[in-house]
Amino acid sequence: MKRMFVYGKGFLAKALKKLKNNNKFNNFCFYASGISNSKIKSNTELIREKKKIKSFLRFYPPNKTLVYISTISIFDTSMKNTGYVKNKLFIENFLKSNVKKLLILRLPQIAGKSNNEYTILNHIYKKIKKKETLVIWKNVERSIIDIDDLLKILKKIFKKNYYISLKEINIVNPNLIKVLDIVKIFEKLLKLKAIYNLISLKNYKHSFYNLLIKKNIYQKEINKTCKNKNYVKKTIFKYF
C-alpha cells in the first residue's frame, strides 16, 4: 500500500505524519523542511535551503504529488523584502518549473507545543517572561491556527478533493488578531506586564488577508474549524 511521505524532522513535519493512516494522503509527498526563523539574515543558511530542495528532488518519489510547505507571508507587505520570503518565492518558482505534480501549501502562524523560539507566540511568551523588551508593530495583524486544527482542515480539504483543481492552497484563519492583542493575552496568562516599544509600519496593508479569504473555495471548511471569536486566546491558553 502506498503511504504518504513527509520530508522533515521539525514540529510541523511530525504533526503531518499523523495523517499517514488517512488514505486521502497516500499519493502525496510533503516537503516540510526549511528555515524556521522568518527573521533569518544568514545568507549561508538561505543558500543552504535552496541547495537542500534541489538535492531532495533527486530522490523524492516522482509518482507522488509534491506538497511544498510555504507561507502566506509572501503576500505580506511587511515581509516582502526579507530573505525568508524571498527564499520561499524562489523555491516555489523553482518547483513550478521542475516538478510536474506540485501543490503549494501556504500556511499562517502555527500554534502548538514547539521548541522553535522564533514562532511569534513563543517569542512573545519568552520575552514577557524574561521581562525583556518587545518591538511591536502598531496595527499589524496575524493569522494563527492551532496545529490540531490545521490537520482537521487539511483532512476536510483533501476529503472533498479541493486540491484537484488547485495548484496552490492558502490557509488563513479569518479571525485575525493584532500583535498587541496577543501581547495582552500573554500578560493575563503570565500575570506580568509586558515591556515593549510600539512602532508604526509605513505603507502596511492588511488587505492581503481578506483577498486570500475571498479567493479560497474551501474557506468555509476553515471557518467552521476556527469560528470561535476567542480562538487565539483559547489556543494560547491551551499551549502555554
Q: Each residue of 36-86: pLDDT tens digit?
A: 888 888 889 999 999 999 999 998 888 899 999 999 999 988 888 899 999
Mean residue pLDDT across the chain: 92
Query: How many Cβ atoms from other residues are within 10 Å of residue 145's Cβ?
Result: 25
User: Residue 1's pLDDT is what?
Assistant: 42
Query: Rounded to whole angstroms, how far apart are CA atoms 131 and 195?
Result: 7
Q: Is the pLDDT of residue 101 over 80?
A: yes
Q: Is 187 exposed, middle or buried (0-12, 13-18, 19+ CB in 10 A)?
A: middle
Q: Is the pLDDT of residue 155 over 50?
A: yes
Query: Rounded to whole angstroms, how far apart are CA atoms 121 and 112?
Result: 9
As a whole number, mean pLDDT of residues 146-162 equals 96
pLDDT tens digits, 186-195: 999 999 999 9
Query: Rounded to whole angstroms, how far apart are CA atoms 82 and 240?
Result: 29
The whole-model pTM stands at 0.94
Query: Rounded to whole angstroms, how far apart are CA atoms 74 and 87?
Result: 10
CB distance 171 to 67 below 8 Å: no
Q: Can you tell me whether residue 203 is helix, strand or coil?
A: coil
